């Protein structure tokens, strides 16, 4: 507030293990200060959607626009992509999650309570059906393939080179 004529003393007290005498930064030894964001696509299902500006707008070496145009279009692309993705997910994510949850719930119910009991019932009847099916194929299909095999066995193929 006024003229201060006193000198203030300042000192730093560090432990020996914290005091670094090398050129390397201290933070590099302590690890990451910030934790990484969790991977929301660990199975890489949407790898085809990882589209960058360079994947969409690419200028060959022979033709280049002004650097300011390139930087401005890159910024506009990223901004519009970011805003529209956030807007669309805000509007559609919860209703789509509700609808898809309903669809997968119904499909699971149908599969568990309808499809699997029918399949298991057919599997119990299968040994007797298998005997009937084998006798029908032996009567009708096997003689057909046997006769076709006999008639085609006399065919000889010779290759000639010119």
46 vs 49: CA distance, rounded Å: 5
Cα 3 to chain centroid, rounded: 66
Domain ranges (residues) in the chain: 16-154
Q: How much is the average pLDDT of 143-147?
A: 73
76 vs 70: CA distance, rounded Å: 10
Percent of the chain past pLDDT 90, that is, above it, reads 23
Question: Is the pLDDT higher at 54 or at 71?
Answer: 71
Question: Is the pLDDT higher at 93 or at 138?
Answer: 93
Residues 6+ apart with CB under 8 A from 27: 33
């Amino acid at each position: 507030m006024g003229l201060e004529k006193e000198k203030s003393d300042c000192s730093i007290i560090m432990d020996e293990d914290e005091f670094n005498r090398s050129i390397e930064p201290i933070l590099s030894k302590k690890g990451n200060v910030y934790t990484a964001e969790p991977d929301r696509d660990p199975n890489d299902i949407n790898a085809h959607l990882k589209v960058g500006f360079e994947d969409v707008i690419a200028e060959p070496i022979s033709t280049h626009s002004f650097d300011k145009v390139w930087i401005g279009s890159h910024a506009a692309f990223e901004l519009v992509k970011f805003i529209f993705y956030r807007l669309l997910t805000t509007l559609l994510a919860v209703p789509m999650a509700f609808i898809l949850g309903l669809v997968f719930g119904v499909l699971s119910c149908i599969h568990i309570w309808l499809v699997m009991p029918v399949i298991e019932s057919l599997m119990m009847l299968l040994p007797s059906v298998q005997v009937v099916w084998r006798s029908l194929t032996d009567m009708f299909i096997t003689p057909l393939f046997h006769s076709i095999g006999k008639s085609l066995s006399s065919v000889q193929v010779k290759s000639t080179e010119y």
